[in-house]
Structure 1
Amino acid sequence: MEKADIIIIGSGIAALQLARRLQDHFYVMIITKDKIKSGNSYLAQGGIAAPLGLKDSVHAHFRDTLEAGRYHQDEDSVKRLIEDGKMIVESLLKDGAPFDRQKDGSLSLGMEGAHSEQRILHSGGDQTGKYLVEFLLKSLSGEKVEFVEGEMVYELVKDDKGRCCGVKTKNKDEAIRSYYAPHIVLATGGIGGLYPSTSNHPAVTGDGMALAFLAGAKLSDMEFIQFHPTLLWVNGRTCGLISEAVRGEGAILLNDEGKRIMEEVDPLLELAPRHVVAECIHKERQMGKSVYLDIRGIKDFQEKFPSISALCLKHQISIEDGMIPVSPGCHFVMGGIVTDDEGRTNIPGLYAIGEVACSGIHGANRLASNSLLEGLVYGERLGNLLIQKGAGCSPHVPVDDIKEGNSLHIPFHSDEIREGMMNRVGIIRHEEGLLAHLKWLKEQPLTFREHIDVNSREEIHTYFMWIVSLLVTQSALLRRESRGGHIRSDFPVEDHDEWFKRKTVLQNNDGRLRVEYHEQNETKIYA
């Protein structure tokens, strides 16, 4: 058993920014189930959105964010995100963060989909996540920040007053360890690994959301999942991300007949919101056509996009020919654990920041490059809150209740969940498919267990995938409209009368799924 002042689960941008803010005040422990650099943040290509251009403004960025999110957001939270984000990015620049610059020394600001101005800061061309993670890691003190790698958190521990006070982990040898602290922070990322086609690291399958749900936290907006339009497609599978910045530099989308597929779909063409572009590519592919990203109009492509060029080379796709085969894949979940503007959940002592959280800023579809901005802002904010609160007393450590012989039985393979999610809860959904997948999930001999006991990591991982898959599918079935990243072929339009600003909130209620609708400060119980 080990103790700390603050325990952070996850090692992405949000976690590292939080640790950076806290390190002069508390002893911080960061626990990750793999390596520190193995998450989504390190893979991020695009950049960070911030209104720093001469013609740009907070209001313009605010307006673009609302439009991309189909006005499902909390508007005050969006405005605060952009205001705080601008200040934090400016602070990072003063601290020497390695953002790319023009030959005259000015910031190199890129364009991405649904943005009205060039406002995307990037590093190393298309290696922003890698550069920023390295920068934040170098800023951390080895004395006050401890990293625990290779340990999967499988349970959140609460004391007899219901306060979250610790975690239980399993390492790769299946050994169990316990850690305790007055404050537990989930920064575990999204759910992309629930789908076979994804831009995410395969280990990112919603662990934090499942942990929080089992402990009684509320989750919301789980139906809103962003599929990135352009993943490299080779030999029948996706093989990595082709950043939206490529389209921002002028690449166009062509089918195998040479037709520019976005011409009659949206006036913004290839820079339309991601759900619009992804749906268009998906429909072309459903008709048996291939889709290519035509990069022939981009000068110095390999210099501007070194990691994408290396990815293409690895899979024998010719940059010189200039036609990159693409297909959509799961990229980002807008929903997650319900938090306030500082990252607090409904469980005392438990916090969530980054993609695992649902703070009301992304709405039905995240604006490109607002994700790294979110991680920086909420990491900073929660750090300020915890410094103000103080570490508090050492938690009351409950009696360890690990029991032998009471483990879960998982009668299916995780790939069955992935295939079901892609085929029935994917880019375009329909009631028939959603009901079929939900029926399959509910037929499994599993229940919501707050105490998981002694299963293997693989079994726990699959169990968590089952939970998150069920939450996404249930939410997608209940929302009978199309909005942002949630597209229903049987309800193809936005319903402003019934569903505008209406949120589906899910909670574990003594082993049963509780569903609430939150709208205009009212709560309606569904089941």
Structure 2
Amino acid sequence: MHADVLVIGSGVAALQLAKKLRRDLNVIILTKSHVKNGNSYLAQGGIAAAIGKNDHPLKHNMDTLEAGRYHNDFDAVLALTTEAPSLIRNLFEEGCMFDMDAHGCMALGREGAHTENRIIHGGGDATGKTVMDFMLSKRNENIRIIENIHVIDLLINEADGSCIGAKGKDAHGKIHRFFSAHVVLATGGCGQIYEYTSNAETATGDGIALAYRAGAEITDMEFMQFHPTLLYKDGKALGLISEAVRGEGGRLITEDGKPVMKGVHPQGDLAPRHVVSQAIYNLLKAGKSVYLDITSIDNFKSRFPTITAICEQNAIDIKTGKIPVSPGSHFLMGGIKTDLWGRSSIPGLYAIGEAACTGIHGANRLASNSLLEGLFFGQRLAEWINAQPSREVPETLPILEQGRKAPDCLPSKEEIKSNMMKHAGIIKTKEGLLNQLAWLKGFQVENWLAAGLDDLSLDETTRVCMLIAAYLITDSALTRTESRGGHFRRDYPFEKNEWLRKRIIHCRKSERDGKSEQAKAAIAT
């Protein structure tokens, strides 16, 4: 099957790209589940944009850099924050229904690490659903969405190393090949490799693993953001409690009513997420319980209908005014290394959304910059592709095949999630990371990089992707001997100037180069 543009993934970044592409381009979107089963659709938080009368894109810019601990790509952040107001206004003018205030203007909320009210919401705490439903309703006729196709490999031209398509497997195990001059990975992050997570079940690091197996550069994998407030009951994380609750006055307290964040950070309950997560984690490890006190929030049910439903489904009575919470994996700042147009290190292969590392988020994502990043880079990449001449990729091109026999053993999903949470989670140590790395290598992670996956079940393919993503995070976390943003080492608890803006890059040599071994992580400024 042929497409002018092949998009793997179906979140906000993918739909924005497809929406902005020229109408004469044939666009195919592949999604391994259903189009609405992903992190974008679940997103409760809003979209950050400096549209308030006292706000300015430069303020948004500085808040993004501060949250990211200045590990960000400064040019990328400035471009994003400058473009944010027009992205929001364009969506609104096209008919996307954002929440309004009593004066008929878009209502602006505040979340952690923002110095101004600049968060636009839709449907209260259902912004992702609002934007996704709007984009799906505006889908152009040149866009075809194919559900339940699990992409298992990228097709690489043996002659020049360019990406010319993808190989996917349907629910019946049949393999399909898709050819395209432009292959876009918009597969999201890998939060599901941790025991506690806010992420959809589909977020298992597929796109990152696909790109790495193909020889693309992967960077900043040590920076995983843990959201401070997941609904927590009976030792399980049961859903996200949006930061907007704290933005509206919710406070973190212990079981005896003591404020968790008092004296911890100047911004208190609205401190950057890594600070709040670490504070809660330390209390939980000490055997204490932590709650979100919502007694000061009027009309909680109407303001937060999605969160109310999650609580009711899990027998949490919000009339008590306390919601039990725990941190969990939420957003990956690292991923497939790209430039400001979404281009990866492999010609013809692009990445946008959470699967990409654009440099926007630095060491820690500022709240409500993720949907914004998807909108921004979806539009940017569309502009670049629209300017390229159309060309068809012939199926007769020689394709680099993964030839190594697959190893016999894989860990279970539960083992990966438990071990990653324990050894490579919120607080890390050299000993824990070394133990985790040895455990991962015991499953021959290096051999999985060049193994053929055609004969594996979809569950086994998912576990391969989780294994690879877990390896990249663990190895990167071991290499960075400091604490910065979402990366915290108990044995190196402070930021180090010598690590400022240095990036850890993984890139394996492909079979085309005559090597298939694991490449040593490189450090670049």
> Where on the TM-score scale, by shorter chain, does this alignment land: which range?
over 0.9
Following TM superposition, by how much is the alpha carbon of 1:132 offset from its aligned partner in structure 2, in angstroms? 0.3
Give the match for residue 54 of structure 1: 53
Give the match for residue 307 of structure 1: 306
Instruction: Encode CA deviations 1:418-477: one digit per residue, 9 max, x unaligned.
Output: 111000000000000000000011122341116433211111111111111111000000
SS of the equivalent of 1:203 reads coil
In structure 2, give the amino acid aligned to 1:309.
Answer: T
Contact 1:185 1:352 in 2 (8 A): yes
Following TM superposition, by how much is the alpha carbon of 1:399 offset from its aligned partner in structure 2, in angstroms? 5.6
Instruction: Encode CA deviations 1:95-116: one digit per residue, 9 max, x unaligned.
Output: 1211100122111000000000
Contact 1:342 1:381 in 2 (8 A): yes
Distance in 1 separating the partners of 2:408 and 2:390 = 39
- The answer on 1:171 being equivalent to 2:177 is no
Distance in 2 separating the partners of 1:233 and 1:490 = 28
Distance in 2 separating the partners of 1:241 and 1:360 = 25
Distance in 2 separating the partners of 1:331 and 1:350 = 26
SS of the equivalent of 1:440 reads helix
Distance in 2 separating the partners of 1:12 and 1:395 = 29
In structure 2, give the amino acid aligned to 1:511.
Answer: S
Give the match for residue 360 of structure 1: 359
Contact 1:402 1:453 in 2 (8 A): no
Distance in 2 separating the partners of 1:405 and 1:116 = 53
In structure 2, give the amino acid aligned to 1:327.
Answer: S
Give the match for residue 375 of structure 1: 374
Matches within 5 A, 1:13-412: 13-141=12-140, 143-159=141-157, 160-398=159-397, 406-412=405-411
Distance in 2 separating the partners of 1:450 and 1:217 = 16
Contact 1:36 1:149 in 2 (8 A): yes
- TM-score, normalised with respect to structure 2: 0.96
Contact 2:33 2:149 in 1 (8 A): yes
The gaps in structure 1 that reach 5 residues or longer are 521-527
Going from structure 1 to structure 2, the CA distance change for 1:250 and 1:441 (only over 3 Å counts) comes to same
- The answer on 1:453 being equivalent to 2:454 is yes
In structure 1, give the amino acid aligned to 2:518.
Answer: L
SS of the equivalent of 1:508 reads coil
Distance in 2 separating the partners of 1:403 and 1:434 = 29
In structure 1, give the amino acid aligned to 2:479.
Answer: L
- TM-score, normalised with respect to structure 1: 0.96
Contact 2:196 2:327 in 1 (8 A): yes
In structure 1, give the amino acid aligned to 2:153.
Answer: E
The gaps in structure 2 that reach 5 residues or longer are 510-514
Distance in 1 separating the partners of 2:403 and 2:452 = 12
In structure 1, give the amino acid aligned to 2:473.
Answer: V
Distance in 1 separating the partners of 2:181 and 2:404 = 31
In structure 2, give the amino acid aligned to 1:209.
Answer: I
Contact 1:8 1:186 in 2 (8 A): yes
Following TM superposition, by how much is the alpha carbon of 1:259 offset from its aligned partner in structure 2, in angstroms? 0.4
Give the match for residue 473 of structure 1: 474
Give the match for residue 512 of structure 2: none
In structure 1, give the amino acid aligned to 2:147.
Answer: E
Runs of 4 or more consecutive aligned structure 1 residues displaced over 3 Å after TM superposition: 395-408, 515-520
Report the more deviating stretch, 83-92 or 481-490. 83-92
Following TM superposition, by how much is the alpha carbon of 1:407 offset from its aligned partner in structure 2, in angstroms? 4.2
Distance in 1 separating the partners of 2:390 and 2:408 = 39
Distance in 2 separating the partners of 1:389 and 1:117 = 40
Distance in 1 separating the partners of 2:371 and 2:404 = 43
SS of the equivalent of 1:204 reads coil
Report the more deviating stretch, 212-221 or 89-98. 89-98
Following TM superposition, by how much is the alpha carbon of 1:511 offset from its aligned partner in structure 2, in angstroms? 2.4
Distance in 1 separating the partners of 2:177 and 2:43 = 32
Give the match for residue 420 of structure 2: 421
Following TM superposition, by how much is the alpha carbon of 1:236 offset from its aligned partner in structure 2, in angstroms? 1.2
SS of the equivalent of 2:374 reads helix
Contact 2:227 2:277 in 1 (8 A): yes
Question: How many residues align structurally?
Answer: 517
Distance in 2 separating the partners of 1:417 and 1:397 = 39
Give the match for residue 524 of structure 1: none
Distance in 1 separating the partners of 2:350 and 2:403 = 30
Instruction: Encode CA deviations 1:100-159: one digit per residue, 9 max, x unaligned.
Output: 001221110000000000000000000000010000011112x31111100100000011
Distance in 2 separating the partners of 1:47 and 1:403 = 41
Instruction: Encode CA deviations 1:187-225: one digit per residue, 9 max, x unaligned.
Output: 000010101210000221100000000000001100000
Following TM superposition, by how much is the alpha carbon of 1:382 offset from its aligned partner in structure 2, in angstroms? 0.2
Distance in 2 separating the partners of 1:431 and 1:388 = 48
Following TM superposition, by how much is the alpha carbon of 1:86 offset from its aligned partner in structure 2, in angstroms? 2.0
Report the more deviating stretch, 317-326 or 20-29. 20-29
Give the match for residue 519 of structure 2: 514
In structure 2, give the amino acid aligned to 1:154.
Answer: I
Distance in 2 separating the partners of 1:349 and 1:208 = 15
In structure 2, give the amino acid aligned to 1:513.
Answer: Q
Distance in 1 separating the partners of 2:400 and 2:12 = 34
In structure 2, give the amino acid aligned to 1:424.
Answer: H
SS of the equivalent of 1:153 reads strand
Contact 2:505 2:524 in 1 (8 A): no
